[in-house]
Amino acid sequence: DTGVSQDPRHKITKRGQNVTFRCDPISEHNRLYWYRQTLGQGPEFLTYFQNEAQLEKSRLLSDRFSAERPKGSFSTLEIQRTEQGDSAMYLCASSLEEGADTQYFGPGTRLTVL
């Protein structure tokens, strides 16, 4: 049972560029979450998928952000026209619907916008 994987682990981009991150959840986990964490803060919820359906989006997720989970397996998070304020660690977590729905986090993608 491999853990949650994320790619890339680090991304440096210039302001105004688009970036896309990928998350592969633990196999058979049907729930997938995206969080964002900035220095000195706890992770903040961005969005949540159950299978391929995106069931909730935070108000933090502006129209520049879009997330997909096309086949209910891996997910992508795209940020268009990046801003310096988007610099953060982007964390993906997955869980099973049954039971405690405990969320397990991937290693994260650290985004730096210059």
Partner 1 sequence: QKEVEQNSGPLSVPEGAIASLNCTYSDRGSQSFFWYRQYSGKSPELIMSIYSNGDKEDGRFTAQLNKASQYVSLLIRDSQPSDSATYLCAVNKITGGGNKLTFGTGTQLKVEL
| Residue 82: CB minimum distance to partner 1, A | 21
5 binding partner 1? (CB under 8 A): no
Q: Which two tokens stand for residue 44?
A: 């903040």
* Residue closer to partner 1 (CB basis): 72 or 107: 107
Binding range to partner 1, per CB under 8 A, among 19-27, 63-71, 75-83, 87-95: 87-95
The residue within the footprint of partner 1, chosen from 77, 95, 111, 113 (CB under 8 A), is: 95
Burial class (CB in 10 A: 0-12, 13-18, 19+), 107: middle
Site pattern 25..64 for partner 1 (x: CB under 8 A) = ------x-x-x----xxxxxx--x-x----xx--------
- Measured CA to CA, the distance from residue 65 to residue 41 in angstroms comes to 20
Distances (CA, A) of 30 to 49, 82, 105: 8, 29, 14
Nearest to 21 by CA among 73, 77, 75, 65: 77
Structure letter (DSSP) for residue 103: -
Site for partner 1, rule CB under 8 A: 31, 33, 35, 40-45, 48, 50, 55-56, 89, 91, 93, 95, 100-108
